[in-house]
Amino acid sequence: HLVESGGGLAQPGGSLRLSCAASEFTFSRYWMQWVRQAPGKGLVWVSLILSDGTGAVYADSVRGRFTISRDTAKNTFLLQMNSLRAEDTAVYYCVGGTGWLMKSWGQGTLVTVSS
Amino acid sequence: EIVLTQSPGTLSLSPGGRATLSCRASQSVGANYLAWFQQKPGQAPRLLIYDASKRATGIPDRFSGSGSGTDFTLTISRLEPEDFAVFYCQQYASDPLTFGGGTKVES
């Protein structure tokens, strides 16, 4: 139900924008989050946006560099990632749910930050 | 920030065995907003348990969650071959959301 895209290779200091396509039902009702997983490591929460887009929250490690948003016309959630660092290298999962609960996960998209 | 500590790091069991996984929080988890996820290699995590003890849709009843406050447990009553995976606990009571480090259940 959730399909991520936009991952790839970026240079340190560069930018990437991730997209998460959702059904109309999911888009209108779910709070959406991004969770990442570095290679061989555990899960780390990144950001969340409310179902109506009126508020967003970020992990300290990405605040000021990443921006989460919604594209209503395309039923798509976005994660704009700027000033990328090597430690941002990870699989990024788009996750939807009611409130803070992580109910439904996308398949993930790999972001690699390297020169 | 609520820190979640999972134990053991690895659990070696046989199919048909009983698995007991622990998740301890550094402070009380409000409203018992504690979830458990299963992740198999190369796959996205899957929600198993939420609100500490409620099974998610489609999850077999051999999976059960219990606990409150700072101590939580995931029990798999009879391990099936498809259950071997890494399991994570996660709290969604307060910002920032946090995960435990994971427990690998292996055969």
Among chain B residues, the shortest Cα distance to A59 is held by B96
Average pLDDT (B10-14) is 97
Query: What residues of chain B lie within 8 A of the CB of A60, using their CB?
Result: 96
The predicted-structure confidence for A53-76, as pLDDT tens digits, reads as follows 889 999 999 999 999 999 988 999
Residue entry with tokens 């899960």: A43
The predicted-structure confidence for B62-94, as pLDDT tens digits, reads as follows 999 999 999 999 999 999 999 999 999 999 999
Average pLDDT (B13-25) is 97
- pLDDT score of A26 more than 90: no
Query: What residues of chain B lie within 8 A of the CB of A106, using their CB?
Result: 44
Provide the pLDDT for residue A52: 86
Provide the pLDDT for residue A27: 82
Percentage, residues of chain B above pLDDT 70: 100
